[in-house]
């Protein structure tokens, strides 16, 4: 595994709900439960919110649930993102809470919905069902994106390995782990040059 270390010049913090009150150091936007990501310097004193207006986020998209930054890209998980039309009756391909991964450049601009969600050409959507919530965790190397979907397979959880464009994804085969309901494999992800570490927050010890 070719490891890509997260860049350390910036801090990315998530805020799934804007909080009441303002500070002088953070540029606030009106309250919204859609989710948000802030870009801060390493002192944490100077922060600005990443503009997501072009993404048309809606209630409970949970944008910012997971974040991974490389030298030139930022990947953001949105596990509550729906697919297709926002009105189920108008779209035969509608799946609520299918989840999505967004990609930004290193400055937090030029966003694109590269995996699942409302991307009509994303092939991984054929492997996903409603409430799978892909995007609960993200880990990126020089050649692959690893993505957790903690509620897939009736909340057993799952992890997908995709190429960097997101158009080729496969699910890990976890038969030996013997997952059961509410294990939530893929709740978190991290790794090094040889191994991937996967959190399963609902697993009994």
Residue 144 has pLDDT above 90, yes or no: yes
> Rg of the chain over CA atoms, in angstroms?
17
In 33-168, at which residue ranges do the beta strands (DSSP E only) sit? 37-40, 47-49, 66-69, 73-77, 100-105, 112-116, 134-140, 144-149, 158-163
Q: Is this structure's pTM higher than 0.85?
A: no
Residue 128 neighbours by CB distance under 10 Å: 25
What is the model's pLDDT at position 100? 97
Phi first, then psi, for residue 123 (nearest 5°) are: -70, -25
Residue 101 has pLDDT above 60, yes or no: yes
Could you tell me the CA-to-CA distances from 86 to 65, 118, 154, 193 in Å, in that order? Answer: 20, 9, 23, 40
The string of pLDDT tens digits covering residues 45-82 is 999 999 999 999 988 999 999 999 999 999 999 999 99
What is the model's pLDDT at position 22? 40
Element of type H or E holding 191: strand 185-191
Query: Average pLDDT, stretch 190-194?
Result: 94
What is the model's pLDDT at position 166? 93
Could you tell me the CA-to-CA distances from 96 to 26, 37, 169 in Å, in that order? Answer: 32, 22, 20
Phi first, then psi, for residue 160 (nearest 5°) are: -110, 145
If you average pLDDT over every residue of the chain, what do you get? 84
Residue 93 has pLDDT above 70, yes or no: no
């Amino acid at each position: 595994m070719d490891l890509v270390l997260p860049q350390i010049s910036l801090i990315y913090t998530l805020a799934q709900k804007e909080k009441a009150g303002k500070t002088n150091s953070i540029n606030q936007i009106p309250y919204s439960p859609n989710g948000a990501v802030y870009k801060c310097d390493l002192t944490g004193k100077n922060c600005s919110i990443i503009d997501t207006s072009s993404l048309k986020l809606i209630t409970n998209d949970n944008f910012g649930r997971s974040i991974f930054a490389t030298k030139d890209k930022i990947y953001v998980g949105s596990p509550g993102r729906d697919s297709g039309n926002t009105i189920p009756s108008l779209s035969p391909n509608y799946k609520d809470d299918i989840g999505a991964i967004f990609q930004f450049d290193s400055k937090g601009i030029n966003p694109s919905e590269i995996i699942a969600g409302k991307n009509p050409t994303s092939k991984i959507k054929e492997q996903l069902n409603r409430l799978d919530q892909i995007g609960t965790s993200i880990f990126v190397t020089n050649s692959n994106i690893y993505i957790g979907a903690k509620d897939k397979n009736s909340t057993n959880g799952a992890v997908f390995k995709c190429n960097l464009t997101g158009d080729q994804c496969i699910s890990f085969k976890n038969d030996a782990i013997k997952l059961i309901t509410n294990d939530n494999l893929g709740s978190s992800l991290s790794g090094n040059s040889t191994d991937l570490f996967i959190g399963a927050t609902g697993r009994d010890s």
